[in-house]
Amino acid sequence: MYLPLGFHFLSKFGRNLWVLVVGQFPKEHRVGIPDFKYVANTDETVERELLLHLIDYLVTNHGKDPEITNLINSARIHIMPSMNPDGFEVVKNLDCFYSNGKENFNQYDLNRNFPDAFEYNNMSRHPETAAVMKWLKTKTFVLSANLHGGALVASYPFDNGVPASGALLSRSVTPADDVFQYLANIYASRNPNMKKGGQCENKLNFPNGVTNGYSWYPPHSGMQDYNYIWAQCFEITLELSCCKYPPEEELPSFWNYNKASLVEYMKQVHLGVKGQVFDIDGNSLPNVIVEVQDRKHICPYRTNKFGEYYLFLLPGSYTINITVPGHDPYLTKVVIPEKSQNFSALKKDFQLSFQGQLDSTQVSDPSCPLIPLYKNFPSHSGNPVVLFLMTLLLHIFFK
């Protein structure tokens, strides 16, 4: 196991955005081994300390603890302890509820600086934001969480919304809402304080420690929505401390409260089904759209340069739709078992009945323009907003 520690990019003030990669093959992506990431998004102390503790815990227990050893050997784990090192350094007054360090050197909240699928964001990209977007293009991340302070809740997409995503019902949900609720509950249920809900003064009561981002408050241009829509990565937001800057002597308790949740959430990188798409000659096919029928993404999820796909699904029966330009869609049924395989998603390769001549460029580049894709969604016939809301109501009342 190699554990290279290196920086990818620089902040506005020239500080490194460090990332540590832990895995059996940390230096490069290997087919079948999913990439996971944790990012401490702003300046708060707790989140940075938690990720540093997590790094130490993983490295120390590899080869000793079977669970940690299997996790490290079956996934590539990327940990960025601070996306905003400039903000961390400028903090002078360690206030529980407000921090000027949430902003970067340019006095801008980086978690309001990403492209937004629901409204235009004409703000220029700050160096840290551009660095993370570039990072996402070069990796096959499939699961992620970004860490914050100031509340105690696991929040899932969407953060922003329009009527077509359910905003008229004070929610904004993705086609994979069941998976996101499951992921948020996985984390919250193992944190003894978070799962109680309503543990912070002057904060909302979050049942079971979970909320839809838009239901809480609708921030725009956040990293969570960007990951899901443009980077093909399921990401939730973890608010892990009521106080942004608790006393130093309290920091170890946060590790004790969050250790089990941090580990269990990483294990969900093996949720659902994964595999490769090949042509008739056995050549892997990049840029192929692989999605579940009836839960298509507004920016279609495509195979990477190795012809790989990863689909996050809960146990059940699904129809997979494989779309290659110039050919009829290929439909096949897949059953995700109730009991997941040992540190691996269900593996399902597909061999299509033609020779492929597809573009093999780095397909982690966004396949959709960085504009509000939901502004005119959906475009098919009928009254799509009414149909979506009716489906959402049925889901709420009869799930």
54: Cβ contacts below 8 Å, ≥ 6 apart: 38, 79, 259, 262
What's the longest Cα–Cα distance across the chain? 65
Indicate which residues carry an active-site annotation.
239
CATH topology of domain 5-270: Aminopeptidase (3.40.630)
- Residues 142-171: pLDDT tens digits? 999 999 888 999 999 998 888 988 888 888
- Whether 121 and 114 have beta carbons less than 8 Å apart is answered as yes
Nearest to 152 by CA among 225, 208, 81: 208
pLDDT for position 342: 80
Provide φ and ψ at 294, rounded to 5°. Answer: 75, 5
pLDDT for position 398: 38
- Whether 213 and 158 have beta carbons less than 8 Å apart is answered as yes
Helix then strand then coil, in percent of the chain rounded to 5, is: 30, 25, 45
- Whether 102 and 294 have beta carbons less than 8 Å apart is answered as no
- Residues 227-242: pLDDT tens digits? 999 999 999 999 999 8
- Residues 308-334: pLDDT tens digits? 999 999 999 999 999 998 888 999 999
Residue 344 is given by DSSP the state: B
- CA separation for the pair 5, 324 (Å, rounded): 39
Residue 221 is given by DSSP the state: S
- Residues 340-399: pLDDT tens digits? 668 899 999 999 988 765 554 444 444 688 888 888 775 333 343 444 444 444 444 433
Q: Which of 122-126, 191-195, 211-215 is predicted with the least confidence, judged by mean pLDDT?
A: 122-126
Residue 148, SS3 per DSSP? strand
- CA separation for the pair 242, 79 (Å, rounded): 23
CATH architecture of the domain with range 273-368: Sandwich (2.60)
273-368 shares the fold of 5-270: no
Q: Is the pLDDT of residue 109 over 70?
A: no
pLDDT for position 211: 95
Domain boundaries, the chain: 5-270, 273-368
- CA separation for the pair 145, 50 (Å, rounded): 13
Token pair of 109 as six digits: 């909240």
- CA separation for the pair 283, 267 (Å, rounded): 30
Q: Please report, rounded to a whole number, the percentage of residues in the chain having pLDDT higher than 70.
A: 79
